[in-house]
Amino acid sequence: MVWIGCALSASATGATHACANPLIGVKADEPADHQAICDSAEGTLALFGRLDLGLSHPLVIEVAPNLPDWVNETAVGCYEEEE
């Protein structure tokens, strides 16, 4: 399972951690999670690259304890564009 983007109602409180890929950032309260999340996102982007799917803007992966109310109760993640 890889979360590509998740903008959630109950946000992580920490600052955004920059991954090795400058287009990827992580917001998670547990710093120990940062590298694993960066690695997963970078692997996903590598897969997308092989499929000729590119990233058109920076990506921030946000880990939070709750998903928004509009997300199905069986979901483990979501993607929501910033306005």
d(CA 63, CA 3): 9
Residues of the chain with pLDDT under 70: 1-14, 80-83
pTM of the complete model: 0.67
One-letter amino acid at 46 equals A
Alpha helices in 1-83 (DSSP H): 34-50
d(CA 34, CA 18): 9
The pLDDT value recorded for residue 7 is 41
